[in-house]
Amino acid sequence: MDVLSKLKCLVPPAIKLFVRRYYLLFQEWLLIQNVRLEQKDTLLKLKDKQQIRCVFFALFEEIWKVDGVYRLMEDHPRFDPVILVCPIVNYGHDNMIRRMNSCYEAFQRKGYHVIKSYDEANNTYIDVLNDINPDIIVYTNPYKGLIDDRYYITNFPDVLTIYAPYYFGEWNKYPIMYDLLFHNLLWRFYLETPLLGELSKKYSRNKGRNTVVVGYPGIEKLIERDYVSPSNIWKESEAYKKRIIWAPHHTIEEKEVCNYSCFLKYSDFMIKMARKYEDKVQFVFKPHPLLKNKLDLLWGKEKTDKYYSCWEEMPNTCLKDGDYVDLFRTSDAMIHDSGSFIAEYLYVNKPVMRTMNGRSLSEEFNPFALSCLEQYYLGYSEEEIEMFIQNVINGIDPLKAQRTKFIHEALMPNGSPSQNIIDDILDSIDNQILYRN
């Protein structure tokens, strides 16, 4: 063993960990500084370009919240948009293929220009820079390890990257919300409210230089006055039944970074409620897309499939995945423990209950989310959940006036969030505005 190796052995593990951590942070800092120069050069190259090639990296249909942005680009002569369905790799190859095909088919049904990043027959992946050569990449999810690494943001320093969150920011774990390497490398980080914009400036290493507050694109179809539902997602019945959504979150494991889910506590009870109120209520089971993957590991595939099938087979229930705009707009109420739905469901102004798992709301949520939750009925027990169901059946909604006032005063966006994004992109390119802050 040489001298250097012997010296390394003498260094305590805690010091090694400290040095390694700060070495990685230093490397990230250098990358953050370097990407600024790359983005400046790219912005200059786009100033006189006739058409801007923009690729949207799509993962789940459920978290596709930039539909309005895509459609505006499709109709604009300055943009040439395409959707690339990217691989989700954290639950194995079969799950990746299933998710990719589902997402791809959803965009095909809409008539969008969509391609798959993975060719199953040849086991090959699209090379984004060579095969598509984008000027702008629109991300729909920030997490490394979920998307295949070849499509992670660090591979595209000389492409303008933008991200509008797929959720309405509710969490109070600010470093994860605003200071991942991903957030710091973005050219534009489009946020929902001024409060969230200020949090980005406070907690991100780049001091929020890339942050622009535009509103939340995901709510545009929820508040669109002339929106027409393309299909009836509820089961036909002779007499009208109240329509209640149950939307459990996926965070069922003890090691989760956030602890929202009450699914394991109420999974059997909610089936009991569906059977008890069969003549009065239609229930839709709307689980988070990751819940089934986690239940397969916890319960086993057979039990999980049987549970999901139960919701499809009862006469007054159904299972719904994918886009949920029609579901929200045509429902009468919702019970959930989700994150983004905290704000999103309020836009349809229907009674909504959050099931509680024993943790204080202030442990998990930021001030904006807490103000939204003041418009909620809170369910701490089976009895309170059933009382909420009975109130929905009977049209009892004591929070209606308070909720309506809050929606108009605190939630309605300033203009169209999608149009705000388009306007910012074009203004930034035409006037060479690298950052807004």
Report the pLDDT value the prediction gives residue 250, as an integer from 0 to 100: 93
Whole-angstrom distance, CA of residue 195 vs CA of residue 298: 38
Burial group, residue 198, by CB count within 10 angstroms (0-12, 13-18, 19+): middle
Write down the CATH number for the domain with range 224-411: 3.40.50.2000
Which pLDDT does position 25 carry in this prediction?
80
The answer on pLDDT for 110 being more than 80 is: yes
pLDDT for position 10? 61
Cα–Cα distance measured from residue 338 to residue 341, given in angstroms and rounded to the nearest whole number: 6
Mean pLDDT value of segment 427-432:
97
Task: Give the rounded percent of residues in the chain with a pLDDT score beyond 70.
Answer: 95
Average confidence (pLDDT) over 55-62? 92
**Which CA distances in Å does 174 have to 183, 202, 250, 356, 365?**
12, 9, 20, 22, 10
What confidence score (pLDDT) does residue 9 get?
66
Question: 351-389: b or e for each residue (b if 16 or more CB lie within 10 Å)?
Answer: bbbbbbbeeebeebbbebbeebbebbbebeeeeebbebb
pLDDT at 41: 96
Q: Report whether 341 contacts 261 (CB < 8 A).
A: no
**Whether the predicted pLDDT of 8 surpasses 70:** no
List C-alpha distances in Å: 354 to 7, 55, 341, 344, 381.
Answer: 56, 36, 10, 13, 11
H or E element at residue 286: none
**N residues, the chain:** 437
pLDDT band at 359 (very low <50, low <70, confident <90, very high): confident
State the DSSP H helix or E strand holding residue 339, giving kind and residue range, or none if neither. Answer: none
Architecture of the 17-216+415-430 domain? 3-Layer(aba) Sandwich (3.40)
Measured CA to CA, the distance from residue 18 to residue 23 in angstroms comes to: 9
Q: Which residue in 173, 175, 159 sits closest to 25, CA to CA? A: 175
Nearest to 337 by CA among 349, 352, 323, 325: 352
Predicted pLDDT at 321: 87
**pLDDT, mean of residues 82-101:** 91
When pLDDT is cut at 50, 70 and 90, the band that residue 308 belongs to is very high
In this prediction, residues 309-326 reach a mean pLDDT of 93
pLDDT of the residue at 228: 76
| Per-residue pLDDT at 299 | 97
Q: Kindly tell me if the per-residue pLDDT of 391 is higher than 80.
A: yes
Relative orientation angle of helices 417-430 and 13-46, to the nearest 10 degrees: 80
pTM: 0.88
User: Please, what is the average pLDDT of the chain?
Assistant: 92
Partners of 246 in beta bridges: 285, 335
**What tens digit of pLDDT does each residue of 145-161 get?**
888 899 999 999 999 99
**pLDDT at residue 62 tops 70:** yes
- Domain boundaries, given as residue ranges, for the chain: 17-216+415-430, 224-411
Question: Is-contact 110 83, C-beta < 8 A?
Answer: no
Residue type, 389: I
Nearest residue to 48 via CA among 422, 431, 424? 431
Residue 5 has pLDDT above 80, yes or no: no
Q: Provide the pairing of β-strand 124-125 with 118-119.
A: antiparallel
Structure tokens at 30: 């250098």
* Phi and psi angles of residue 36, each rounded to the nearest 5 degrees, phi first: -60, -45
Tokens (6 digits) for 353: 């209950």
SS (H, E, C) 75-141: CCCCEEEEEEECCECCCCHHHHHHHHHHHHHHHHHCCCCEEECEECCCCEECCHHHHHCCCEEEECC
User: How would DSSP label each residue in 175-233?
Assistant: HHHH-SHHHHH-SEEEESSHHHHHHHHHHSTTTTTTEEE---GGGHHHH-TT---SS--
424 CB burial (10 A radius; 0-12, 13-18, 19+): middle
User: What count of Cα atoms within 13 Å lies in the side-chain half-sphere of residue 337?
Assistant: 26
pLDDT of residue 6: 56
Q: What is the mean pLDDT of residues 13-17?
A: 66
Confidence at 424, pLDDT banded by 50, 70, 90 = very high
Which pLDDT value is given to residue 405?
A: 97
pLDDT of 4 reads 57
> What span, in angstroms and rounded, lies between the C-alpha atoms of 164 and 428?
17
pLDDT at residue number 145: 85
**How many whole angstroms from its chain centre is CA 24?**
28
Tens-place pLDDT, residues 22-50: 778 878 889 899 999 999 999 999 999 99
